[in-house]
Amino acid sequence: MSLIIDGVEIPIDARLDLSVSYQRLERSAMHRIGPAATAIKQTLWSGKYRVTVSGSGWYPPGLQSVDFSGAVLLASIAPLSKVGGVGDINIGADTDRRGEADYTAYAHAIMIDGNRQDAELAVAVNGDCTITPVAGASFYQVFWFPIMSLIFADPPAENTDMAGITTSWEMVGEQV
């Protein structure tokens, strides 16, 4: 599996220890109205992500060649997921997810006893998922590997530990 940041495939020796963190962002405010102080949440926008990618290994990641003055593209190796029924999950347009053979979306049926079972999945270009029903399933979970285009990020921090002969690095960015 390969992690790609703006066309640079991070070598395995630079990501022996790898972490990818997604935080969904939204701009919202909560208001209390009326004598009962009922809470109402008002959301201006949502659906963007803050992404933190960090790794360590024997070598630096090679990201000095990436131009961070503009947006960069992240092809992630960490999946996102949604749960739902056989026909009510949407995972976003095909331009927002990886399509290579090792990165195709997949589904699990979550059985009544809590176990998981692979489920057959078909994904439309717009991200609508159709799952073949599995007997005994209480719901389904669909996984996909995102491509996050237009991420604004600062150049990653890099640290080399000469005693342990290891390099660590971290990149934090947000979708535009």
Q: What is the pLDDT of residues 63-103, one digit of tens each?
A: 999 999 999 999 999 999 999 999 999 999 988 999 898 99
Smallest Cα–Cα separation from 102: which of 123, 76, 126, 65? 76
- The residue among 100, 96, 138, 92 whose CA lies nearest residue 119 is 138
pLDDT beyond 90 at 129: yes
From residue 11, alpha-carbon distances to 3, 7, 55, 80 in Å are: 8, 12, 11, 22
Average pLDDT, the chain: 92
CA 14 to chain centre: 20
Structure confidence by residue, pLDDT tens digits, 142-151: 999 999 876 7
Average pLDDT (50-54) is: 94
Percent of the chain whose predicted confidence (pLDDT) is above 90: 73
Over residues 5-48, the pLDDT tens digits come to: 999 999 999 999 999 999 999 888 888 999 998 998 888 877 88
Local structure of 102: helix, strand or coil: helix
The pLDDT value given to residue 109: 97
Quote the pLDDT of residue 46. Answer: 78
Position 73 scores a pLDDT of 93
Domains of the chain, with CATH numbers? 1-78+145-175 (2.40.30.200), 80-144 (no CATH)
In the prediction, which pLDDT does 171 show?
94
Confidence band, pLDDT 50/70/90 cuts, at residue 111: very high
Q: Are residues 161 and 39 in contact, defined by beta-carbon separation less than 8 angstroms?
A: no
Q: Residue 12: its pLDDT value, please?
A: 94
